[in-house]
Structure 1
Amino acid sequence: MFQNEEEMANNIANRFRSFLTTVISPEDLETKLRNDAAERSGWKIINEALSYELGPNNEVNLHVPKIFTKKPLEMYRLFNDGLRLLATQLKTEPGLKDIEQIVGYSWIIFEHPGLIEKMGFTLDERDGKKKGSLAFMSRDDFIERYGN
């Protein structure tokens, strides 16, 4: 029936994808996966492109969920909207008054350091083995850049 295991796996994946899209739309599946991950991890969802958790040392750790239904430019806009919403929360929510730094660690930072620097973040701790990098920005700089 199948020439090899790869052909069989592709056939099964295609059938499963067809079945799944009759049960739930890709957008609804993406929302469910994002919400489940946030609930399991204790992250606070800002918007569909950005979540965060409170980290040690008075920091906010950013999380960008896997998004497969948006084009890159749309994702970038959503992410920037999320940063602006976070800046508003930093200014208004009492539970965030002691935050001193906004931090992210990701393959995205590793692969696109110039973009991250243009967004105002400072890069640090580039790990070639894990293909990840750390980026951070002070609270004051973050609010100045995204809170106006």
Structure 2
Amino acid sequence: MLTITQATYDAIVAHARRDHPDEACGIVAGPEGSDRPERVIEMINAAGSPTFYEFDSTELLELYKEMWARDEEPVIVYHSHTATEAYPSVTDVKLASEPGAHYVLVSTREHGNDEGPVEFRSYRIVDGEITEEEIRVVETLSSTES
């Protein structure tokens, strides 16, 4: 199960809406080994595409250096789908290189940049296997939650 704060949920959804019609992408970092998504980092979609996302390699390298210095790891890797459901594509599965991460997808296909419900789903992707997981949204993460 993925447990995230309402603020993290809102930040991911706002980023997805803002970048629509292009796919948005980013990482939520947390303390190493904690499974606590605490710090939302919006990334640039280097592909600038409505059907594909790609992290900018220089930006990603700098982020990893920063996370290592802060004893953090990517707890969530997120991106949006602008015209399809929030389910990992074949390409998404191939790009899933963090076996411990939660892969969050947000579909903005119904309302685009406008207010309205979005499809927000989380998956574990390990060795090409996709497993959907429950999401629990809370106001704050307690020190025992992960």
Q: Same fold (TM over 0.5)?
A: no
* Relative contact order, higher structure (CA 8 A, sep 6+): 2
Tell me the TM-score normalised to structure 2 length: 0.32
Tell me the TM-score normalised to structure 1 length: 0.32
